[in-house]
Structure 1
Amino acid sequence: MTLTLTIDTERWREHHRGVLGQYPGLVPVCKGNGYGFGHHRLMRETTRLGTGLAAVGTVQEAARAQDFYPGDLLVLTPYRNGEVSPALSDRTIRVVSSPGHCDGLAGRRVVVELRSSMRRHGITEADLHALRPVMSGWEFEGFSIHLPLNRVGGAGGAEEVASWVRRLREERMPLRQVFVSHLSAEETAGLHAEFPGTRFRLRTGTKLWLGAPKATRYTSRVLDVTRPERGRGLGAGRRQPASGPHLVVVSGGVSHGVGLRAPKTLSGLRDRARHVVGIGHACLDHHLSPFLWDGVRCRFAAPPRLQESVLLVRGGGPPPKVGDEVAAQLRYTITRPDRVVEEPQVPPAASEVR
């Protein structure tokens, strides 16, 4: 019972080197489930890149990573007074996003998060005067600004960063380095040209780890194949379709991230129309799965179980056999495979070949 992530290692690393070449001072982000690859593997690749600094999401992630990553660790979750934190090494850098939450950081390495148009957390221009008195007690590493991923209208991301840098200059704040996100290589180069005394360092995980889709793939092992008897129930209370498809049990269930969905922001008539069509299919219990056979996405026969899923594979071609591998199109940021295989090359899965 195995859901496998296979990596074409050399192609994957070639992409990493390309991103590093585009973004000098790159800061790899290794958080959550390790973008589907796991923290150990991403920290190993970060060490190979030689960036000297990696970003993690939480203090718990930092505490685990400091045992096997030799570089500095930037914790992206802002510091809060009174937080319960595991023991962290002096290689850890904390983020401050409010002048009211700075207790206990004297002598610590600190980055100040600036409020962006994302409107999440971060200090505002009005906070700068309150922040200045406590900054002198820190080992100050720089400022940080987290831009929205999808910018619609208004100023571009580079202009938003530049506006903040000009304001910080007016306040005579130290501007040795600024950590940024979701900027293109051209935008980052433009900032370096406009502010030659400041180092702009891109923090990214998606662009770095998931930017070469042909270098990685998920596959699932077929565990069982049956053809249900007419009139018998299908799955949990489902009736057998008249077309009599095969029922195929494959590895991969909710514990792996299969069948999990997040709210999505809809923009435009086409997105809304697709969403309405999806609701209609859901009302008829027609749920597309992420698994493919013969190049076609299969439907779920029943809701995914903890570690396996039951699929409907309709006629028209030979069904899969027990032991076959079927392709799976899964979100890396929520998927936890049973194993990760690194190979020089990734051959196409049998289910991807027509």
Structure 2
Amino acid sequence: MTLRLNVDADAWRSHHRSLLEQVPGLVPVAKGNGYGFGLENCAREAVALGVDAIAVGTAHEVLPVRLAGWSRDVVVLNPWRPADPLATSLLEDEHVISTVSRTRDLDQLRQSHQRARIILELDTTMHRHGLRAADLDHVVTAGLALEGWAVHLPANGSLEEATALARAALAHQHAPVWVSHLSVADYAAFSTEMPVETRMRVGTRLWLGAPEVLATTATVLDVHPVKRGDRLGYHQARAPRDGFIVVTSGGTAHGIALAAPVPQRSLRQRINTIADGVMRAAGNALSPFTVGGRKRPFAEPPHMHSSMLFVAGRRPRVEVGDEVPVTCRMTTTRFDEVVLGQR
């Protein structure tokens, strides 16, 4: 009884090939939970695409992609820090490219790990990691293998920002420029303007850019009739009315009902947040599971591997063994099965 991700593999791979044709120098990103597909599946698909480099989030993700068959270059996106022993050991690996974002770390590497392959990350308007413009005069890469400059842009990447930062870096030292989050058209324009090789790291757009070829389902594990006022679940809450408890696969261990904080920028977002808060306060937290054509409330918070839903009415609308749709945040969900087949 599983939480399952079904993938129309032919259509999914067609999307990959189409994007690869539009983005020369594409570098697939495989990090975290592999965007829901798993690091291993992402690595195998990257092998099939024939690209020469893959990017992972952390040093700990290098081994999983290699065990899946990846044997070419691996870029570690999290910047190297002296206190990370695994990342430090990978500096000796000829197929690992480490990211450096501080001059003090760069200077230390020049002393301790000459010939290490590195990418220098520039500070963008994200302000997460990176060398500032004032740092460039202090950048010395002698003895190290500089593989390029990294420009990690915000989600809606700016061609103007990428171009300005790249030009400032290239005025100091020529090397390939690795960007992210540019549109296909902006990347083409950027590549044309640059006097060096360009690469673009792509994760979400590559793996999740064709949502119509994905289907996520959970299995119905049990169905129980309840009367209004019956106690149920770990917390012994009372059933709000007559109906059914529908138990499905999928719980906190899978990432069900986990959500990243979202800034409330628009009026619509604020209204949705207020409505959700009112429902929760009334004990009706809406679940991501669809039963009988609509999403049903949790009977209580999800358990580790299952969820209890409340379905009001005289009929449960599902039976044990049925598969029901479930809306998942792909970057936080770990599926029991990822099925690469045909829809």
What is the TM-score of this pair, normalised by structure 1?
0.91
| 1:111 is aligned to 2:119 | yes
In the TM superposition, 1:268-287 aligns within 5 A as 268-287=266-285
Describe the superposition over 1:305-333 as per-residue Cα deviations: whole angstroms up to 9, x where unpaired: 00000011233766100000001110111
Task: Choose which of 203, 206, 230 in structure 1 pairs with 2:204.
Answer: 206
Counterparts of 2:171 and 2:39 in 1: how far apart (Å)?
40
Q: Secondary structure at the match of 1:312?
A: strand
Q: Secondary structure at the match of 1:227?
A: strand
1:28 and 1:203 in contact (8 A); partners too: yes
Q: CA deviation at 1:185?
A: 0.7
| 1:131 is aligned to 2:134 | no
2:40 and 2:64 in contact (8 A); partners too: no
| 1:74 is aligned to 2:75 | yes
Q: Secondary structure at the match of 1:250?
A: strand
Counterparts of 1:70 and 1:169 in 2: how far apart (Å)?
30
Counterparts of 1:54 and 1:37 in 2: how far apart (Å)?
16
1:282 aligned partner, one-letter code = R
Task: Choose which of 299, 302, 313 in structure 2 pairs with 1:301.
Answer: 299
Indicate the structure with greater helix content. Answer: 2
State the partner residue of 1:42: 42
Q: CA deviation at 1:145?
A: 0.8
Judged with a 3 Å threshold, the aligned counterparts in structure 2 of structure 1 residues 116 and 291 are, in CA distance, closer, same or farther, namely: same
| 1:194 is aligned to 2:198 | no
Task: Choose which of 88, 91, 98 in structure 1 pairs with 2:95.
Answer: 91
Q: Secondary structure at the match of 1:221?
A: strand
Describe the superposition over 1:166-224 as per-residue Cα deviations: whole angstroms up to 9, x where unpaired: 223433x113x1111110011011112222x2222111110000011111111111000
Q: CA deviation at 1:138?
A: 0.8
Counterparts of 2:155 and 2:293 in 1: how far apart (Å)?
31
Q: CA deviation at 1:248?
A: 0.3
Counterparts of 2:182 and 2:14 in 1: how far apart (Å)?
21
State the partner residue of 2:222: 224
1:92 and 1:109 in contact (8 A); partners too: yes
Describe the superposition over 1:122-165 as per-residue Cα deviations: whole angstroms up to 9, x where unpaired: 00111112112xx0111110000111114xxxxx6110011112
| 1:121 is aligned to 2:129 | yes
1:222 and 1:248 in contact (8 A); partners too: yes
State the partner residue of 1:352: none
Structure 2 unpaired stretches of 5+: none
1:28 and 1:208 in contact (8 A); partners too: yes
Counterparts of 2:296 and 2:287 in 1: how far apart (Å)?
6
| 1:142 is aligned to 2:148 | yes
Counterparts of 1:216 and 1:314 in 2: how far apart (Å)?
29
Structure 1 unpaired stretches of 5+: 151-155, 347-354
Counterparts of 1:238 and 1:254 in 2: how far apart (Å)?
19
Q: Secondary structure at the match of 1:203?
A: strand
Q: CA deviation at 1:62?
A: 1.1
Q: Secondary structure at the match of 2:86?
A: coil
Counterparts of 1:299 and 1:306 in 2: how far apart (Å)?
17
2:249 and 2:305 in contact (8 A); partners too: yes
In the TM superposition, 1:258-337 aligns within 5 A as 258-315=256-313, 319-337=317-335
Task: Name the count of aligned residue pairs.
Answer: 334
Counterparts of 1:145 and 1:80 in 2: how far apart (Å)?
19
Judged with a 3 Å threshold, the aligned counterparts in structure 2 of structure 1 residues 207 and 316 are, in CA distance, closer, same or farther, namely: farther
Q: Secondary structure at the match of 1:85?
A: helix
Q: Secondary structure at the match of 2:5?
A: strand
Judged with a 3 Å threshold, the aligned counterparts in structure 2 of structure 1 residues 204 and 162 are, in CA distance, closer, same or farther, namely: same
1:121 aligned partner, one-letter code = H
Q: Secondary structure at the match of 2:139?
A: helix
Report % sequence identity.
Answer: 40
1:246 and 1:319 in contact (8 A); partners too: no
Q: Secondary structure at the match of 1:183?
A: coil
Judged with a 3 Å threshold, the aligned counterparts in structure 2 of structure 1 residues 9 and 316 are, in CA distance, closer, same or farther, namely: farther
Q: Secondary structure at the match of 2:331?
A: helix
1:27 and 1:204 in contact (8 A); partners too: yes
Q: Secondary structure at the match of 1:274?
A: helix
